[in-house]
Amino acid sequence: MKVTILGTGAACPGAGEACSGFLVEGEKATVLVECGTGVLSRLQQYHELTAVSDIVISHIHADHFFDLIPYRYALCYGNESNDIPRPHLYLPPGGITALKQVTAPFSESDTFFEDAFDVSEYNPSEQLNLGGLEFQFIPVYHYVSAFGITITNGKKLSYSSDSGPCQGLVEVARDSELFICNTGACLESKKAVSWGHLTPEQSGQIAREAGVKHLLLTHIWSTCSRTSCLEKAAREFGGLIELAEPCHTYEV
């Protein structure tokens, strides 16, 4: 499978950045994982929006789903053709109600997202097969219900979602070829209240414990030193480690 990083920012993207989002391309599916602020713009640098077959959201925090709103407008009103494909949108449990609450103040339709997407909530105790890519969801430790995601097709890609250190995260990352790890607790001054995110050191420790081959650090505040994050994580993890680079594609 091919993985293209679209956004690497934390809750607020820095200048020219985007929040969480990456594209996973298998033989029969093109899946957008997360759709934070700025991701929609980046995505269109690679694909027509209509080329995305499925969208998967790990948890209901704004930096992971906000661009679903302009995405919906693009599909509903931005096309001349009547034959617009409808991507399937997979939300975590409770996600449908949560998104309705977000859009209620301005929505012109009771079926705001359903107008553009086939919307459902995934069942974290079941695997989800999207065109030969097997998605598995594992609860992780965050301020709201959140799921780490593994994607396999013979090889294994793993994604932490937002999480503090927990055993679930080690399970997510276990023996993966590539581990995309959200390292949101990189601000020195905020460490004390950042239990729902990983420090760079913790990201390295989780990757080491899980036997990861290649660690990609992402979801880093723009005000943090990215070089320093990389150095701190590398002290804990001896394998291949990089900062996730927007628009870079990785083969898994």
Near Zn ion by CB under 5 A: residue from 42, 61, 88, 156: 61
- Interface characters, 107-146, with Zn ion (x: CB under 5 A): ----------------------------------------
CA 77 to chain CA mean position, Å: 26
CB 128 within 8 A of CB 150: no
What is the footprint of Zn ion within residues 152-181 (CB under 5 A)?
Answer: 162
Q: Does 197 bind Zn ion (CB under 5 A)?
A: no
Q: Does 67 bind Zn ion (CB under 5 A)?
A: no
How far is 39 from 68, CA to CA, in rounded Å?
9
Near Zn ion by CB under 5 A: residue from 63, 67, 201, 236: 63
What is the footprint of Zn ion within residues 219-238 (CB under 5 A)?
Answer: none
How far is 202 from 61, CA to CA, in rounded Å?
22
| Count of chain residues binding Zn ion (CB under 5 A) | 3
Nearer to Zn ion, 152 or 163 (CB): 163
Q: Does 42 bind Zn ion (CB under 5 A)?
A: no
CA count, 13 A, side-chain hemisphere, 100: 11
| Helix-helix angle 226-234:200-210, to 10 degrees | 40
Query: Minimum distance between the CB of residue 176 and Zn ion, rounded to whole angstroms?
Result: 20
How far is 52 from 56, CA to CA, in rounded Å?
11
Q: Catalog residues that contact Zn ion under the rule CB under 5 A.
A: 61, 63, 162
